[in-house]
A and B are shown apart, each in its own frame.
Chain A
Amino acid sequence: MRLALATASFVILIVHGIIFYDQFFHEWESYQTSYYQQALSLAKTDAERAAVEGRSPKIEQIIVTSFGETRVDRCSTCHIGIDDPRFKDSGHPLRSHPFSEELGDKLVDGKWVRRHKFNDFGCTVCHDGQGRGLGGKYAHGQDHFWPDPLLGSKLIDWRADYKPKLVGKEYMQANCTLCHTEDGFGSTPLVAQGRRLFFGKNCYGCHKIDGLSNGALGPELSEVGKKFKIDYIWESIVDPRANSAASFMPKFNLTDDEVKALTIFLKSRRGMNFSETSLDRYKATLAKGEPGQALIHGGVLTSPPETGTPTAGVAYGERLVYDKSCMACHKLGKFDGGIAPDLSFEGLMRDEDWMMGHFRSPRSKISDSIMPAFGFTDNEYQAMTTYLASLKTPPLVTNPAEIYNSLCSRCHGEKGDGHGQIAVYLDPYPRDLTKVGFMNSKSLERFVTSIRNGVHGTSMPAWGKVLRDDQIHAVLDHIQTTFVKEPRRPIRERKLPEINPIASSSESVNRGEGLFLQRCTGCHGRKADGKGPNSLDMLPRPRNLRNRDFLNSVTDRRLFESLLYGVQGTAMPSWIDYGLTEKEIGDLVNYLRSFDKGHKQ
């Protein structure tokens, strides 16, 4: 036991020896000693000599109070020659900071005078890094957990794929912007370019940045620069799913230079800037429009200013459609963003009124659309509408299989199962054409109508001008044989009222509401928006009964049919089997119809 005791005591001694050694022989002390020696030998006057002689190694720090939260920068503990021009050619860490006219330094009587004095600014305001750290690893922010490593420094272990692209002092422009927010500030061209791209590529449509935009579809970016390193930002731009598996942000077709500009612009978004006051902030919130509306700030769009004659020409509209990155989501010609519907035949499917209304507020036409309202000017909307309305060339396909594959499969899927490429972004979800129960319980006429006129309130457009009736029938035959795989059965005749026999009255609506709350909310939700607690497990999803356009487009007869006899191939049961009478159905229909006050029976 005594031997063990002695060993353990010895271990304690050794550990303490190491700790003490570590505490009393710092790396920075050797830098400072070396600096003093060199400075002494370089000293030419007595004053210079005296300035060095009295000094012994100690922790140097600059406390910066003028720029946001108080910073403590201890960088000059190692970089002790930082403001000593005699050390301009030394190696790091003693080398002095270069002077440059770009930074506002001035040559006065042969001596440089700094614009950004270290005693006022410290180091991390511009360079990032961890001011409180001592010793390279933590001070430079090489520690994996530090959110602000030295900007653009090759010391930092940026993500391997992007590392060469993330090195360079231009990244520091992000920090210049914290004070120099003026849009025209000449020394931060990359921030300005990034800001233009943020609007030009329609980032603002989905992302909110306080004072700039109000997008609600994607994550807010107001403080993105405070929270994330530039490698994370870069990666999130070029590969949105790398950091968030559920992201559906499109991959934009950006050059490396553009990504760099965007990265720098985003890195400069750190919540409140040093030049802002909380009052500015408050005013900015007051100036905000409706949610989803963009605040276009300071004329930064790529398109020509709308002053002068409204050039509502097709060419201008075409350029807008391309410039504004519509094809980051939509398909048009050979471009395909893979998120939103095909616009190639838009002029045959939608009229100009619909398009203008849809531009201004997509949800006024398709109530569950995820398309943001971008807040362009009316001139721009008009030009884009004119251009899209000019797209009237029907596709050069004749074979029904080809028609299906080129026009239908993007939503309904190659296998007809409704899981097309863009299906997950559509609400309501595209119809599963393989469900025999559904496909064989609805009349051919209804399918033809749906294709020809589209389904109102949904992303299903009217194909009537794209396809001839015989083509529509051919496609339906193709669907029947390829996906349904059963011959059509004759539809069972059912006695159904054409018009709701129960007159709409407040009593009837109240009875309908009571029934709805008892019977329907599990799937359709208390708000009748199709988001009941059971809805998550169902495909097709329960119908959003607040979808006014859709509801107004269906007849009472169809509502009675769905309610009384259910919808085969979906979770909607036959309510006649659950004891609902035709009168009660009538009350329910009146309740549903009552959502839209303007609707006339």
Chain B
Amino acid sequence: MARKISLSALTELPGNIWNSIFRNPLPSSDLGRAQTSFTNFFLHIHPVKVNRHTLKPWYTMGLGLITFFLFVILVFTGVLVMFYYVPSTNQAYDRMLDLRSTVAFGTFTRNMHRWAAHGMVAFVFLHMCRVFFTGAYKRPREFNWVLGIVLFLLTLFSSFTGYLLPWDQLAFWAITVGASIAGYAPVVGEQMRFLLLGDTTVGQEALLRFYVLHVAVLPLVITLLVAVHFWRIRKDGGLSRPPEAESEPGLSKETTAKVDLVEKPGEAFVTSAGKKHFGIQGLVRGPFTKVGNVPDNSVFAWPNLFMAELFVLILTIAGLCVLSLFFDAPLEEPVNITHPPNPAKAPWYFLGLQELVSYSAFWGGVGIPTIQVLLLLVVPYLDRDPRGVGRWFAGERLLANTLFLIFVIVNITLIIIGTLFRGPNWEFVSPW
């Protein structure tokens, strides 16, 4: 008996290990497809079925997903870089030199981290634009928009804190300028700046604070909020889509009528229409994600959604790899406190603000950005018109879209002016 068991255990060992890890074989039936997404830890955040509209490449352009993948890459490369980094004003720059010269794959890892960080700032902004122009922030997704704005700010802050860590001239003066922008806030400005820097100037205290924020606090907070952000997408019934996307063209409303729940989750249940369904989830508010042969406009996540996501992932990695191969992350002179570069510029995403600051310290540094953020936060609560959801530049949303477009263009223009057209003493120069 014992011999028999051990023999079969040995022969079946590989298969058993495989099956214990991947509980489902490659699915061939709808049930299998459903279970594949449902029983896998990494896939179970996805719905079993998604609306066809969600999969249209030009609807989302994968912008949110790219942002998320960049974040994952940032965590990964960030941990690698962290093994070599010391947050000390004496050592940080030397460690950068080591990373560049001696550490295996050091340059490439740092390049990937650097460009992914810039990319994340850009893509989180583009994602926000997509959500606005498709009206996706409307009920019931108001709060997810608010979370998105908070994530945008956290991304900026995360990038900003990371900017200081190489401890070169570029980093030092960019943070000096950036932090002084914070100091323009009335009443609490100076205290805020002091709290951030731990000193009156950028120095060892600031380096340590920025390091802790950058490698521990902000990634944790972002991870948590991203989880909530994703969770709410599911609970709000998937991505936004126009009402007509709910049903297949040609199907009348009645055939997609509501499903009566039978009190036996996990078992097959029968709807009033007499069709067989698989109840596989608890009670969900909002539009119910249906499984089975309900004649609606959805397809299985496996493989449709996963292929799309894989596609975005591969594309993101490929783009980043090529970028990191050809362009090295900058490393300028060691910090020289008495010799500021002229002009000293903040990181590019704050150059719009720096440009405004050159006109008015208070309005550019505090007033206008605060107003912009507040307006962004309350957008879904001001715009209560439910029309125009799920379509790019819907005609019903002409006013909102125009206003937002102006906001986007003005900010991008300011950043371009600040980046390319400002020379010594912040005077106008032509980049050509």
Q: What is the interface of chain A, defined by CB distance below 8 A to chain B?
A: 1, 4-5, 8-9, 11-12, 15-16, 18-19, 23, 59, 69, 72, 74, 130, 132-135, 138-139, 145-147, 227
Is B310 close to A, CB under 8 A? Answer: yes
Q: Give the B interface residue count (CB, 8 A).
A: 30
**Residues of chain A within 8 A of B331, CB atoms compared:** 145
1/0 per position for B319-335, CB-CB distance to A under 8 A?
A: 00110110000011110
How distant is the Cα of A441 from the Cα of B291 in the complex, in angstroms? Answer: 100
* CB proximity of B321 to chain A, nearest CB, Å: 4
B100 and A9 form a contact (CB under 8 A): no
Asked if B98 CB lies within 8 Å of chain A CBs, one says yes
Q: Which residues of B contact A130 (CB under 8 A)?
A: 97
> Quick one: which of B168, B321, B334 contacts A11, CB cutoff 8 A?
B321
Give the residues in chain A near B334, CB-CB below 8 Å.
147
CB contacts (< 8 Å) of B325 on chain A: these are 15, 18-19
A12 interface neighbour in B318, B332, B333, B339, Cβ under 8 Å: B318
Cβ-defined partner of B108 (8 Å) among A9, A19, A145: A19
> In the complex, what's the smallest C-beta–C-beta distance from B353 to chain A, in angstroms?
26
Q: When the two chains form their complex, are residues B314 and A74 in contact, meaning their CB atoms are under 8 A apart?
A: no
Contacts of B100-121 to chain A: CB distance below 8 A: 100-102, 104-105, 108
B window 198-248: CB within 8 A of A: none
Distance of B251 from chain A, by nearest CB (Å): 27
Smallest Cβ distance from A11 to chain B, in angstroms?
A: 4
B102 A1 Cβ-Cβ under 8 A: no
Whether A11 lies near B336 (C-beta < 8 A) is no
**Beta-carbon contact of A16 and B321 below 8 Å:** yes
Which of A4, A69, A138 interacts with B90 by CB under 8 Å? Answer: A69
Nearest chain B CB to A510 CB, angstrom units: 36
Give the contacting residue for B307; candidates A1, A11, A69; CB below 8 A. A1
A16-B321, A132-B97, A145-B332 given; 14 more Cβ-contact pairs under 8 Å: A4-B311, A5-B310, A5-B314, A8-B315, A12-B317, A19-B325, A23-B105, A132-B94, A133-B101, A134-B102, A138-B101, A145-B331, A147-B334, A147-B336
Q: Which residues of B contact A15 (CB under 8 A)?
A: 318, 321-322, 324-325
Cα(A1)–Cα(B339), bound, Å = 53
Chain B residue numbers with a CB within 8 Å of A134 are 101-102
State the Cβ distance, B133 to closest chain A Cβ, in Å: 24
Beta-carbon contact of A9 and B314 below 8 Å = yes
The 3 closest A-B pairs by CB, nearest first: A15-B321, A8-B318, A132-B97
Chain B residues with Cβ below 8 Å from A19 are 105, 108, 325
Give the complex CA separation of A419 and B104 in angstroms: 63
Considering the complex, give the chain B residue whose CB is closest to the CB of A15.
Answer: B321
| Contact, CB under 8 Å: A135 / B101 | yes
A residues in contact with B98, CB < 8 Å: 72, 132
CA gap between A1 and B332 in the complex, in Å: 41
CA distance A515 to B105 in the complex (A): 73
The answer to whether A147 and B318 have CB atoms under 8 Å apart is no
How many Å from the CB of B171 to the closest CB on chain A? 12
CB A456 to nearest CB in B, in angstroms, measures: 38
Q: Is the CB of B321 within 8 A of A23?
A: no
**Known contacts A1-B307, A146-B333, A12 near B321 by CB under 8 Å:** yes
29 intermolecular pairs with C-beta atoms under 8 Å apart: A1-B311, A5-B311, A5-B314, A8-B315, A8-B317, A9-B314, A9-B318, A11-B321, A12-B321, A15-B318, A15-B321, A15-B322, A18-B325, A19-B105, A19-B325, A74-B101, A132-B94, A132-B98, A132-B102, A133-B101, A135-B101, A138-B97, A138-B101, A145-B168, A145-B169, A145-B332, A146-B333, A147-B334, A227-B339
Which residues of A sit under 8 angstroms from B339, Cβ to Cβ? Answer: 227
A8 contacts across to B, CB distance below 8 A: 311, 314-315, 317-318
CB-CB under 8 A for A133 and B97, given A145-B333, A146-B333: yes
Nearest neighbor of A23 in chain B, beta-carbon distance: B104
Specify the chain A residue showing the minimal Cβ separation from B315.
Answer: A8
CA distance A16 to B101 in the complex (A): 18
A227 near B307 with CB under 8 A, answer no
Check A12 against B97 for contact (C-beta < 8 Å).
Answer: no
Shortest Cβ distance from B369 into chain A, in angstroms? 29
Among the interface residues A9, A19, A23, A130, which one has the most CB atoms of the partner chain B within 10 A? A19
Q: Decide yes or no: A132 and B101 within 8 Å by CB, A9-B318, A15-B322, A227-B336 being known contacts.
A: yes
The distance in angstroms between the C-alpha atoms of A133 and B324, with both chains bound, is 20
Q: Which residues of chain A come closer than 8 Å to B333, judged between CB atoms?
A: 145-147
How far does the alpha carbon of A3 sit from the alpha carbon of B431 in the complex, in Å?
Answer: 39
What's the Cα separation between A134 and B107 when bound, in Å? 12
